[in-house]
């Protein structure tokens, strides 16, 4: 049944503000904060009359994340006169100066670092009144980078992980203490594992070194370590002592007792969004499961999240509630039974969960796991983009590998990723590994709801492309259309030998020009332009499983003729073991594997939990990585940099 999601349903939290990422919802919803909040609410419920003072406009987020129905809230007061008259907790907000006429037993100040706020109004309050604040639910200082500003985003370098140890399927997270590269000292990691119902199974701390080194969390080891049964749920990560930035990046491998089970995905993106896109409808014989991980301490009400076919206004909602921190698999066919590939689906998430993964179960008994992306609701078409070509060449580029067509089928499906993208005016450029342009193919001005998949193998023909290369999606305004710079696409790779498949998706950037347009070329640290590379490549400890990597050197305008790219092998402690320098032609690419670059003795010297850094001071490369188990299975996704 098709229903429209109520406009009141989306969770009223702020994930970003004019000053950057918001940490309030992370602070309120931290698993260690939740029991403290329940204790605080219980204490408040023991008073006959409670007032709320909301000096910073944060009470709304407290209200939506926690149940205060047992507390007798008689008044709410605000500091900003603009907020007078607003409805909070079912009451009309009054100016804080009016509290002098009120007779209350307790007051709850809905802010952290509240001492100064309380001191400003203490003389207004009755002498007997009990004062509470969000400081009563603070994390211990050992979890904080900045103890003077609790809501500093560096205090909440957190993320969620889809974590499964069930029916012979396992997950392995690999990341690095890259904060040590920003001179962070005493970085720590606190972990919390939830089952599918949102029950906490285990919590623990990982001991980290003061160096850039690998961090590996394997579901099999965690199951054994804590004596757990099978589980599928969420692993919550909190890196303490972070510096440089608050983004928790990781690579997640899904593998199985059966050698045909293998997939990898990028991190979950820790800021819940209103919409996600890039969810493919199933092909004939396929089942597509959307994995929803409730990222908050409140339930997701029934009919608060849903799906629609891209371009359609009809939304089909999920009619069951999802408990706090619970994980739920939604079969998209239950909501949209008529949807079929290459149609794409929008996920109406209502800010209840982080970027979700999806699982494609094929009729050949194979499966793949990939992730959707945030569909922006804050963008407008940018009239400047069609005009920058004279100065910035191709401008925005979305690069992706072409794996050797003799073995792999390469499929491209452009994906609307903002609500203002009514059309996508695109061209596709194909390059061989040496940077020579093989063809430029005009795709047309795709309508939002009618985008076709492009089979690159068919486009190339059987004899014109014998090895690897790459493609670039670029804007083409020859037939009109608009752009916002948030160009995305899904890329599907099918192994004709094993029958295994992988999907990955990403967005466009301006690459390798010293000229700057807004915040492009993107820089990981500091101001644009970003003209260097530091990518992380996780490796496998199984000698029967090789790590593969496809590096692309995209260039919007003329740049260095060749890259100078160091492939650096590091041991688990971050020490450099071996280095090999390679050169990639501008607009070219390099497909390589760990076993090809370093021989067995070198790999043994690196030891377990070794990793690689791809470093280039001359240009910005874009990379894709995966694992390959001979002719049995492979995985593929984009890499992360730091």
Dist CA 509 CA 87 (whole Å): 42
- Domain presence at residue 248: yes
Q: Assign 181 a pLDDT band (cuts: 50, 70, 90).
A: confident
Per-residue model confidence as pLDDT tens digits over 48-105 = 999 999 999 999 999 999 999 999 999 999 999 999 999 999 999 999 999 988 889 9
pLDDT at res. 244: 87
Domain co-membership, 180 together with 81: no
Across 7-17, average pLDDT: 74
Domain co-membership, 339 together with 265: yes
- Domain presence at residue 18: no
Tokens 């939830």 correspond to 194
Q: Which of 371, 398, 432 is the last residue of a domain?
A: 371
Domain co-membership, 224 together with 97: no
Domain residues for 501? Answer: 385-641
- Domain presence at residue 50: yes
- Domain presence at residue 582: yes
Residues 6 or more apart in contact with residue 435 via CB below 8 angstroms: 553, 585, 586, 587, 588
- Range of weakest confidence among 130-139, 263-272, 626-635: 263-272
Domain co-membership, 267 together with 395: no
pLDDT at res. 402: 98
Within its chain, how far is the Cα of 128 from the centroid?
Answer: 48
The answer to whether 412 and 459 have CB atoms below 8 angstroms apart is no
> How crowded is residue 314: how many other Cβ atoms within 10 Å of its Cβ?
12
Q: Partners of 343 in the beta sheet?
A: none
Domain co-membership, 358 together with 321: yes
17 pLDDT above the threshold of 90: no
Across 530-548, average pLDDT: 95
Per-residue model confidence as pLDDT tens digits over 313-362 = 899 999 999 999 999 999 999 999 999 999 999 999 999 999 999 999 99
Per-residue model confidence as pLDDT tens digits over 196-216 = 999 999 999 998 988 889 999
640 pLDDT above the threshold of 90: no
Domain co-membership, 298 together with 408: no
Domain co-membership, 562 together with 626: yes
Domain co-membership, 77 together with 219: no
Q: Assign 1 a pLDDT band (cuts: 50, 70, 90).
A: very low
pTM: 0.95
Domain co-membership, 367 together with 395: no
Q: Which of 325, 342, 371 is the last residue of a domain?
A: 371
Q: Which of 104, 138, 172 is the last residue of a domain?
A: 138
- Range of weakest confidence among 2-6, 75-79, 430-434, 635-639: 2-6
Across 444-455, average pLDDT: 95
Across 272-283, average pLDDT: 97
Across 37-49, average pLDDT: 98
DSSP 19-81: TEE--HHHHHH-TTTHHHHHHHHHHHTTSS-EEEEETTS-HHHHHHHS--TTS-EEEEEESSG
Domain co-membership, 442 together with 526: yes
- For 267-300, b where at least 16 C-beta lie within 10 A, e where not — what string? bbbbbbbbbbbbbbbbeeebebbbbbbbbbbbbb
pLDDT at res. 268: 87
Q: Assign 7 a pLDDT band (cuts: 50, 70, 90).
A: very low
- Domain presence at residue 494: yes
Per-residue model confidence as pLDDT tens digits over 23-39 = 999 999 999 999 999 99
Dist CA 254 CA 263 (whole Å): 5
Report the SS3 class of residue 147.
coil
Domain co-membership, 111 together with 174: no
CATH number for the domain that contains residue 80:
3.40.50.720
Rounded to the nearest integer, the mean pLDDT of the chain is: 94
Dist CA 293 CA 91 (whole Å): 32
The tally of domains found in the chain comes to 3
- Domain presence at residue 188: yes
Strand residues in 478-532 grouped as ranges (E): 488-495, 501-507, 509-510
């Amino acid at each position: 049944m098709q229903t429209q999601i109520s406009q009141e349903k989306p969770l009223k939290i702020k994930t970003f503000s004019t000053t950057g990422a918001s940490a309030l919802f992370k602070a309120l919803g931290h698993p260690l904060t939740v029991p403290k909040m329940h204790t605080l609410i219980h204490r408040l419920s023991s008073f006959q009359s409670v007032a709320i003072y909301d000096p910073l406009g944060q009470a709304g987020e407290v209200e939506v994340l926690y149940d205060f129905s047992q507390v007798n809230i008689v008044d709410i007061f605000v500091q900003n006169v603009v907020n007078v008259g607003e409805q909070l907790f079912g009451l009309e907000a009054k100016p804080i100066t009016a509290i002098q006429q009120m007779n209350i037993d307790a007051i709850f100040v809905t802010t952290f670092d509240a001492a100064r706020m309380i001191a400003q109004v203490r003389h207004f309050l009755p002498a007997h009144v009990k004062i509470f604040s969000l400081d009563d639910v603070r994390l211990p200082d050992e979890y904080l980078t900045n103890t003077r500003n609790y809501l500093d985003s560096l205090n909440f370098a957190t993320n969620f992980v889809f974590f499964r140890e069930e029916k012979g399927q396992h997950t392995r997270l690999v990341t690095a203490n890259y904060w040590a590269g920003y001179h962070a000292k005493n970085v720590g990691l606190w972990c919390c594992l939830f089952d599918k119902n949102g029950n906490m199974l285990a919590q623990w701390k990982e001991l980290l070194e003061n160096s850039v080194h690998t961090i590996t969390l394997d579901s099999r080891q965690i199951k054994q370590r804590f004596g757990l049964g099978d589980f599928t749920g969420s692993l919550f990560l909190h890196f303490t002592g972070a510096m440089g930035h608050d983004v928790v990046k990781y690579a997640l491998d899904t593998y199985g007792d059966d050698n045909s089970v293998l997939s990898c995905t990028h991190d979950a993106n820790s800021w819940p969004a209103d919409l996600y896109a890039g969810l493919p409808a199933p092909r004939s014989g396929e089942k597509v499961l959307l994995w929803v991980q409730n990222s908050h301490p409140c339930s997701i009400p029934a009919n608060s999240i849903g799906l629609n076919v891209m371009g359609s206004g009809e939304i089909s909602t999920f009619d069951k509630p999802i408990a706090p921190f619970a994980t739920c698999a939604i079969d998209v066919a239950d909501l949209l039974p008529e949807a079929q590939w290459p149609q794409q689906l929008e996920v109406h998430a209502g800010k209840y969960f982080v970027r979700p993964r999806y699982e494609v179960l094929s009729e050949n008994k194979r499966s793949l796991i990939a992730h959707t992306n945030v569909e922006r609701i804050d963008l407008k078409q940018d009239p400047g983009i069609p005009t920058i070509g004279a100065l910035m060449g191709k401008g925005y580029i979305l690069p992706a590998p072409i794996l050797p067509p003799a073995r792999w089928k390469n499929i491209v499906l452009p994906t609307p990723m903002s609500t203002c993208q009514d059309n996508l005016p695109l061209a596709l450029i194909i390059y061989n590994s040496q940077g020579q342009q093989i063809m430029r193919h005009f795709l047309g001005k795709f309508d939002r709801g009618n985008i076709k998949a492009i089979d690159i193998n068919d486009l190339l023909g059987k004899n014109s492309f014998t090895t690897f290369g790459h493609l670039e999606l670029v804007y083409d305004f020859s037939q009109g259309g608009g752009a916002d710079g948030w160009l995305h696409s899904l890329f599907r790779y099918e192994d004709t030998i094993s029958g295994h498949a992988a999907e990955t998706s990403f967005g466009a950037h301006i690459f390798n020009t010293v000229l700057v347009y807004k915040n492009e070329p993107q820089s990981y640290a500091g101001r644009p332009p970003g003209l260097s590379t530091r990518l992380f490549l996780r490796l496998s400890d199984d000698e029967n499983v090789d790590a593969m990597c496809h590096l692309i050197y995209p260039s919007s305008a003329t740049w260095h003729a060749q890259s100078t790219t160091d492939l650096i092998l590091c041991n688990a402690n971050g020490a450099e073991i071996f280095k090999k320098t390679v050169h990639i032609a501008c607009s070219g690419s390099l497909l390589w594997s760990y076993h090809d670059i370093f021989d067995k003795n070198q790999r043994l010297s690196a030891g377990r939990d070794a990793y690689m850094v791809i470093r280039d001071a001359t240009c910005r490369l874009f990379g894709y990585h995966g694992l390959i188990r001979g002719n049995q299975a492979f995985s593929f996704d984009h890499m992360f940099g730091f």
